Amino acid sequence: MLEVAKNFKEPFTYDEQDPYFKIDLMEEDGSNGIPNNDDWANVRRMVTLLQQFYELTLRVSESAFSTRGRVLDSFKSSLSPKIAEALICSQDWLRVASKPINIEEELEKLEKLDIALSNVVLDSTMGN
């Protein structure tokens, strides 16, 4: 779509055939409103830059939230976008390479959690 801007170079050369064409395009400060060769060179550079930027942002956005290899069936497609995103993100979390579990550490954490929950239950029953 950006390439279209370059196609307008030819119509602006019409000022050679119609002297009033130039008057219609003049700026309020009296400068010539017709793009010159430098302007068109800038257009070509800008088009190239914007095309590269566009392609780069597509690649970045694809890698940031890749759904490659994931198929959303009709049930999942009926979910809201936030829920679908949550499912995909949780799937990524579940697929992470498992790390070894230290059972003794986990048992200690569970015992501390059990004691904390018991205290909460006791506090709530004594408060009644």
- Please provide the average confidence, as pLDDT, over all residues in the chain: 71
Decide: 125 and 104 in contact? Cβ < 8 Å.
Answer: no
Mean per-residue pLDDT, 56-72 = 61
Report the predicted TM-score, pTM, of the whole model to 2 decimal places: 0.36
Who wins on pLDDT, 21 or 41?
41
Each residue's pLDDT tens digit, 111-124: 888 888 887 767 66
Each residue's pLDDT tens digit, 97-108: 666 777 888 888
Q: Collect all residues with Cβ–Cβ distance below 8 Å to 32 and sequence separation of at least 6.
A: 22, 25, 26
Q: Collect all residues with Cβ–Cβ distance below 8 Å to 22 and sequence separation of at least 6.
A: 15, 32, 33, 34
Mean per-residue pLDDT, 12-24 = 63
